[in-house]
Structure 1
């Protein structure tokens, strides 16, 4: 995000009249950028959002609600579009939004001459076709920003990521050298449960979601900054509700992996959720993002049966193998606070 702001500032210093279009692959990534922009005084921006996504995730947009233009309110005329954009010199949207013919009225009055693509390394080549095909003649500058191989971690995690993702080429000067900066909680009775097109923790007793509450209680008591991330949005909702029921801070605490791209926290709780099939964990790039968010420590909730079985060859499974038995916390010990 610092790089994006630097690019925007440099552009503004060179030209106060030409707008910037800032796009990303996911709605949440665009929303995260918008929130950062809301803290920068000299940027006036508008965020183009699909009606369907905003309806479903209205709570995500509380901080930038005044800057949103929903797709069901996209205007027909340039005059109406000018009124909606106001003094905006930055327009944000997803890459897929560029395929919506109704947004063209905005690009006519805020020409798409300068486009900054955030998290560009996460986007498939074919997804750039609408941008290049429909707006290529107007483009003067196209800036790609992103690196799926983030590197902010304690030594024990950083060495593993370097070996398995960077082919051992990276070194770190991180000041956390604790061999137990990464722990695994063995939720051995946990079961995956389908929820629509996603997955959450199932019976018995939803152990993985309950583990999140216990970890959060400890971190909250110790005044630690933490976030909970999972590959599955259904589990994110489940964990969020559990925190709320336990009267713990829950807003901006639980995220799915894709929405947490580009973010970090001192302490990260990762919940793999799956127990029978690999699912998300087969994606090396996204798994790397999932396991590289922490600055001080990471706790991974899963089961030995999964990481020693079907999940053995995933990045998370290899991390388990690399750290060995000492990194595991037995569920009974965990319940008794011995971790």
Structure 2
């Protein structure tokens, strides 16, 4: 006997199209998939009226998504927490012109409905899967009688989510959002704009309510326990009804034959599973709006038509399950874009043999070098190698240097400029902080607006510009069409590849499939992931890329820091260049900053009314400013690294009061290493945990320990010197400690 909570009925007023005869209520019936029977489907099909709308075998379909509230999941949460909190397909709605059937789903198919909507007691074995079989037949048009045609708004997203969440395929699903009165004008429009344009082109303007339409197209919620008639369910009902209504109208105007039909029944299971995994990861990782949306759109399309991605050789080489078997064969690369002619690389100055080998392999015509992985810790010459590659390639091809983010692009451009290379432009919007951090880059900065016309691009190329540096997400900007015609995205160097998730390359590979011929990934595969991407699966984690070209000679870093990092982060693999003769005792000091008593005005009363003891306020702000003033007087190139944005803002105000630039203070996210020779570190609450993280797998050194010639650390209240002494012991420095009183007299 069915649980009374397993079904319900209610009505939904149709308020999108308000013309006479179109504004009636829709009768809605809800059922959990474990209680779905053929009778539910027959009852729904019986409400189709061929004489009324001319479509005897058609249903509208819409999904309902549920995902956790954003405030309940920190972006710093471990990967397993993200996996458990992904957006899920919660229900499917099937609609005729008068009736809708809402089927609530159990993606786990374990028989336990964690939402608390229904009582599944007694539902086991075949009883639990019978509803899934009926749902599969409905989606595959295998019912009796069969429903040959189904219509949806954004059929790609629906088909992708159905396979990714339920493992079910879809047949004969038409995407009514592809219908438009003016196809040439609909390119690039969002779904709402396309649907609204179609409705207004076929009906009087006053008959369409844009607000109601916008609401109907919003079919996801953060509420995890839905009632049967929750607003998101009502919106999905209207969306399914609207999809069929548009199809009916298109059939009356003979436009139905031009609607794009989605069918993934012929796609191999291996390809769908690989794409489904990427789809799931895209739901979990919280990518930025533009880049993440584009990637999900590409994957959704590929779940419908895998050839849209699997026909791209570079995509197959990285993502295909069969890549390890075929990637070394000659036939594998035959359909890839042609490589430019080999460049002659001879007597490259200021590079060693390992760097020269990388440049040569990146510029030859050998298919086995189309994808190169280069690993090196900080100071081993990665930027020097990129600069040598850009200089050697400038005469024969364009180079695009892509980075994880805008701030990394500025740092990469600064290092490239310092190496002596000038034939590049930094593609980035204006940012006062970055401009203050890198004043020398002002003549080399370029915005998308400044290269959107052919005349702008001609001026650039006439100046000898052959290299573009930008963030990975920026390379898909539509404004760059003219720039890409003159400087095609053919050879791409990824600087900081260890900080980029593998799936983030999909828009790059898909959008430049006709030109992109080579990818050179440069990074530190032992580097600690950034806080913005704590669980990155980078290109270095792909098992079938077993050959990694390594740079292990330390050229820039002081011996003490280099030895420390080699010992604790790189298995003693870093060796010193004979030209690196920095004095080890000048490297690192940790300043013990004692607290001080607050003034009488800072006393506060407890809840009982008693006056508490004076609070103890730290000296740390004063210590940082003293060090900054000293470095400034000596004309040293330095930065202050704060442990949080709040601390950065506080210290920036103190710097302004002291007559110094507030942009001298940055957070760890703004620091990429190499920007300054001297670093003043506000250790804050991380003092006791920074070193602990270094010994963990895939946890390399923090950035402020990588590149600087000198480091002054300070942590207030370390009376037992525990954290300072631990840092000092690991650095093997006997002169590690300094009291606050000594800081005024002699910083280092």
2:695 is the alignment partner of 1:289: no
Question: Is 1:28 aligned to residue 407 of structure 2?
Answer: yes
Quick one: structure 1 residues 169 and 92, their matched pair in 2 at CA, closer, same or farther if it must change by over 3 Å?
closer
Residues 1:334 and 2:715 are matched in the alignment = no
After superposition, give the CA deviation of every residue in 1:124-174 in whole Å (9 maximum; x if it has no partner).
323322222322441122222333669544343333212210123334465
Measured against aligned partners, the alpha-carbon deviations of 1:58-109 in whole angstroms (never above 9, x if no partner) come to 655754445544456774xx64764685644222210111344444453344
Shift of 1:329: 1.9
* Structure 1 Cα separation of the partners of residues 457 and 747 of structure 2: 61
Q: Considering only CA atoms, is the larger Rg found in Structure 1 or Structure 2?
A: 2
Q: CA distance change for structure 1 residues 177 and 304 in 2, over 3 Å: closer, same or farther?
A: farther
The CA distance in 1 between the partners of 2:564 and 2:477, in whole Å, is 42
User: Cα offset for 1:176?
Assistant: 4.3
Gaps of 5+ in 2: 1-382, 528-551, 597-614
How many residues matched?
313
Tell me how far 1:209 sits from its aligned partner.
3.1
Please give the per-residue CA displacement for 1:173-218, whole angstroms capped at 9, x wherever unaligned. 653454573211123449xxxxxxxxxxxx9766333222211233
The residue that corresponds to 1:167 in the other structure is 571
| Alpha-carbon separation, structure 2, partners of 1:257 and 1:138 | 36
The correspondence for 1:138, drawn from 499, 508, 515, is 515
- Match among 674, 678, 693 for residue 263 of structure 1: 674
Contact 1:271/1:302, CA 8 A, preserved across alignment: yes
CA shift at 1:271, angstroms? 1.8
Aligned residues of 1:46 and 1:68 also touching (Cα < 8 A): yes
- The one of 376, 387, 392 equivalent to 1:10 is 392
Where 1:274 maps in the other structure, the secondary structure is: helix
Note closer, same or farther for the CA distance 1:230–1:130 as it changes in structure 2 (3 Å cut).
Answer: farther
Query: What is residue 427 of structure 2 aligned with on the other side?
Result: 48
Moved more, 159-168 or 259-268: 259-268
The separation in 1 between residues aligned to 2:426 and 2:583, in whole angstroms, is 42
Q: 1:83 to 1:324 in 2, by over 3 A?
A: closer
For residues 253 and 32 of structure 1, what CA distance do their matches in structure 2 show? 15
**TM-fit CA distance, 1:12:** 1.6
Q: Which runs of 5+ in 1 are unaligned?
A: 191-202
Q: Distance in 2 between matches of 1:92 and 1:41?
A: 15
Aligned equivalent of 1:193:
none
> 2: distance between equivalents of 1:229 and 1:167?
27
The residue that corresponds to 1:214 in the other structure is 626
Secondary structure of the corresponding residue to residue 167 of structure 1:
coil
Residues 1:330 and 1:131: Cα distance change in structure 2 (over 3 Å) = same
Q: What CA distance in whole angstroms lies between the structure 2 residues aligned with 1:281 and 1:58? A: 34
- Separation in 2, partners of 1:121, 1:170: 18
For residues 155 and 138 of structure 1, the distance between their equivalents in structure 2, rounded to whole angstroms, comes to 44
The Cα shift of 1:10 comes to 0.3
Q: 1:118: Cα distance to partner? A: 1.7
How far has the Cα of 1:282 moved from its partner? 5.2
Across the aligned residues of Structure 1 and Structure 2, the Cα RMSD in angstroms comes to 4.3
Query: 2:680 is paired with a residue of what secondary structure?
Result: strand
Distance 2:475 2:624 in 1: 38
Return closer, same or farther for 1:281/1:129 CA change in 2, 3 Å cut-off.
Answer: farther
**Equivalent position to 1:95, from 455, 466, 472:** 472
Deviation at 1:247, TM superposition (A): 3.0
State the shift of 1:292 in Å: 1.7
Q: 2:561 aligns with which of 135, 146, 157?
A: 157
Structure 1 pair 171–6 and aligned structure 2 pair: CA distance change class (3 A): closer
Q: CA deviation at 1:335?
A: 4.5
Change in Cα spacing, 1:235 to 1:61, as seen in structure 2 (3 Å) is same
After TM superposition, the structure 1 stretch with the greater mean CA deviation from structure 2, 22-31 or 263-272, is 263-272
Decide whether the 8 Å contact of 1:115 with 1:143 is kept in 2. Answer: yes
- CA gap of 1:127–1:210, structure 2 versus 1, over 3 A, is farther
- Is 1:245 equivalent to 2:657 in the alignment? yes
> CA, structure 1 residues 109+281, in 2 after alignment: closer, same or farther (shift >3 Å)?
farther
Contact between 1:226 and 1:266, CA under 8 Å: does it hold in 2?
A: yes
Structure 2 counterpart SS, 1:145:
strand
Distance 1:243 1:206, change over 3 A: farther
1:241 Cα offset (Å): 4.0
Question: What SS class does the counterpart of residue 685 from structure 2 fall into?
Answer: coil
Residue matched to 1:274: 685
Q: 1:319 aligns with which of 727, 732, 736?
A: 727
Question: Aligned equivalents of 1:141 and 1:80: distance in 2?
Answer: 28
Shift of 1:7: 0.9
